[in-house]
Amino acid sequence: MVLTVAYSIAGLGIAIVNDFKSIEGDRAMGLQSLPVAFGVETAKYICVASIDVTQLGVAAYLWQGLHQPTYAAVLLGLILPQIFFQFKYFLPDPIANDVKYQASAQPFLVFGLLTTGLAIGAANSVAAAL
């Protein structure tokens, strides 16, 4: 359940990316999306932190909690391109590059979810064998 909550927080970060393209409409409608409420500069860092910190926490859990260092290393390898694309596209201009960022980085998040699921399966197999 903890991993589900962690990836929900990462998913929230991905959902926030969509809010950047509708800032003007949100303001006009009185909606307090994250970019409207906190401003673009603050919101973009909240967004990437929610994505990166939760995934790094999951990698640590895979390594220490589930004793699956290989899967943890694979997950770390999948986080690195996401961070690269954050610096290349999202952080410089989240409004202009939101779609480009999602198209580039989101597949790595999805493969990270798959890696985590495989790690849980491997840990359960080891536990069942003991």
Residue pLDDT, tens place only, 37-63: 999 999 999 999 999 999 999 999 999
Domain locations along the chain: 2-122
Residue pLDDT, tens place only, 80-102: 999 999 999 999 999 999 999 99
Q: Residue 105 above 90 pLDDT? A: yes
Q: Residue 106 above 80 pLDDT? A: yes
Provide the pLDDT for residue 94: 96
- Provide the whole-model pTM: 0.89
What residue type is assigned to position 17 of the chain? V
- Is CATH 1.10.10 correct for 2-122? no
